Chains A and B, each alone.
Chain A
Amino acid sequence: MTMIEIEIDGASVVCREGLPLTEVLMSGAPSWRRSPKLGAPRGMFCGMGLCFECAVEVDGTWARACLERTRAGMRVRTGEGDI
């Protein structure tokens, strides 16, 4: 098991390499963005890339956290961060 460091909303987080990013995010809180009209908290739902509820920004590009794997140095920004 290789431990790596990633960045989430500017904070450094140490975790295992290759994990679904959702696992790391959810160990903080189960939501990391807001719904468009109601501003309700949302996080992973389908877990397989089809609902887009888990959206984040990884290294500057829109991504689905449930399909991302943790890799050293990746920079993650969530909707709850100060984007």
Chain B
Amino acid sequence: MTAERLSCDVAVVGAGPAGLAAASAAATAGASVICLDAFGQPGGQYAMQPTQAGSAFAETSAVLSGQDAAQQAAAAGAKILCGAEVFWGAPVPGGFCLSVNRQGSALAVEARAVVVAAGAMERPLPFPGWTLPGVIGAGAAQRMLKTGSGALPMTGSTVLAGSGPFLLAVAQSFARAGQPLDHFVEMQRPSLTGLTGLFMRHPDRVFEAMRLGRDLRGTGATRHFGHIVTRAIGRDRVEAVEIAPLDGSGRPDMSRTTRIERVGTLAVGYGFQPVIDLTTALGAAHDFDAALGGWHCRADDDGATTIPNLWAAGETLGIGGAAPAQLSGRIAGGAAAAALGFPADDTAEPRKRVRRARAFAAGLAALFPMPRHLPLELPDDELICRCEDIRAGDIATAIAEGAHESFAVKTWTRAGMGPCQGRICGAGVAAALARAGIPSETASYNRAHLPLRPVPLPLVRDAMEAQNQMETRA
């Protein structure tokens, strides 16, 4: 088989708030645009679309905003392809070649410019028992509520645990779905003065925050602020969860643990990290900033990365929420088209708004400082790498013997070589390096390799053949 081929002026990777805005802006300027997304429907995380008629989420402003954004992009002439996952990207003369798994067939997209708006994912921090079935990401629980029948399928109690504003958003989804939530465990106790200060500076967000608090109470969950999950317990699935209060030094007080019994689901979230597999594969520079979720793609105010005609938008540039993501997409999409000679849009207004929206996100992030690692001892036999079953002890040994970089840990132990390519174990490896006193800048990140996401071998072959032809074409 040969790969199907498409070409365009601007290819946008990701159809979340940032990608859809970028596609609209570039298409409005006159560029031909293809916008690709791995999910079945446009919207990304924020505007995730329900699959069931009559879903409690069908009429939320987020869902409607996603439909609007997709319609606008399509009306401007952008071609949106869903179920299309980019598994490689490479420079070719005159632009880039993106290799895509389109529902099991290879597609090669040749584009003069690329905007990467790949969004964010949860930063999974390992803790004792985290690989037990029934322990899932907080985002996974939310996705199931939003895109499923609205009820979690597992029997037993549900515990939502971790830290950060997103936990409140997930609790809100439970409230909206009418799904019982039994326990809410938040590591921090955000300071009241900090909260008041933030909302005095951003009074437009007060209502939203009050609603989050009200909905958390509405779930009926027992709330444990200043507590952390110290252990998930079970044989073949999670059965109980142990939690402990954090003492003045930020460590769990193990003399005061509580055991929550008959647990069916433990949904955990300790914040987000940018999805940077494609931008690292394309060789763009990345920077570390804990407040932005760690490693993120470097870009100027327009979204220009360090690679000519490669742009980035949304949370690939750092965690900040849907509002700045959408605005940064509009700016980057317009700038990408303008750099190819299409008329430039006036972006003074979105630039002003993006600064303000980012300031709110930064203020909120400062109130919930994200841990680099959890204040828990990981037993040597606890897994850090789920793909290859690599234990904390193996990784500690590698670090003690001189592996002081994510890449060195990977070649030494294989953590990061499995199908997740370090997207999941990367945070655990970084946490182990941080514990050993190695600064994040030295620890660096896992650079992606072909294929970014597992795909059947014939697809890789077909796509690479198309890429080679583009590379060698006179």
A residues lining the B interface (CB < 8 Å): 1, 16, 18-20, 22-24, 26-27, 29-31, 35-38, 40-53, 61-62, 66-67, 69
Query: Could you tell me the distance between the alpha carbons of A55 and B388 in the complex, rounded to whole angstroms?
Result: 14
Residues of B within 8 A of A16 (CB): 52, 149
B236 touches A53 (CB 8 A): no
B141 touches A69 (CB 8 A): no
Residues of A within 8 A of B143 (CB): 20, 47-48, 66
Contact string, B160-189, partner A, CB cutoff 8 A, digits 1/0?
000000000000000000000000000000
Q: Which of B52, B153, B424 contacts A46 (CB 8 A)?
A: B424
Across chains A and B, the number of contacting residue pairs, with CB separation under 8 Å, is 119
Chosen A-B contacts, 20 in total, with CB atoms closer than 8 Å, are A16-B149, A19-B52, A19-B148, A20-B51, A23-B144, A23-B149, A26-B153, A26-B154, A29-B133, A29-B237, A30-B264, A38-B383, A38-B389, A41-B133, A42-B131, A43-B133, A46-B136, A50-B121, A50-B424, A50-B453
Tell me, yes or no, whether B66 is within 8 Å of chain A by CB.
no
* Chain B nearest CB, measured from A42 CB (Å): 6
A30 touches B154 (CB 8 A): yes
Residues of B within 8 A of A43 (CB): 133-134
Q: Which of A38, A41, A49 contacts B237 (CB 8 A)?
A: A41
A47 touches B389 (CB 8 A): no
Contact string, B210-247, partner A, CB cutoff 8 A, digits 1/0?
00000000000000000000000000111000000000
B149 touches A19 (CB 8 A): yes
Query: Could you tell me the distance between the alpha carbons of A18 and B149 in the complex, rounded to whole angstroms?
Result: 9
B389 touches A40 (CB 8 A): yes
Tell me, yes or no, whether B39 is within 8 Å of chain A by CB.
yes
The 8 A-B residue pairs whose C-beta atoms are closest, nearest first, are A47-B140, A31-B133, A30-B133, A27-B153, A37-B389, A18-B51, A52-B419, A26-B153
Query: Could you tell me the distance between the alpha carbons of A45 and B386 in the complex, rounded to whole angstroms?
Result: 10
Counting chain B CB atoms within 10 Å of each CB, the highest count among A1, A20, A45 belongs to: A45
B454 touches A49 (CB 8 A): no
Given contacts A16-B52, A26-B153, A37-B388, contact A52 B454 (CB under 8 A): yes
Given A36-B389, A47-B136, A52-B418, 6 other A-B contacts at CB below 8 A? A19-B149, A24-B153, A40-B131, A42-B386, A43-B134, A49-B38
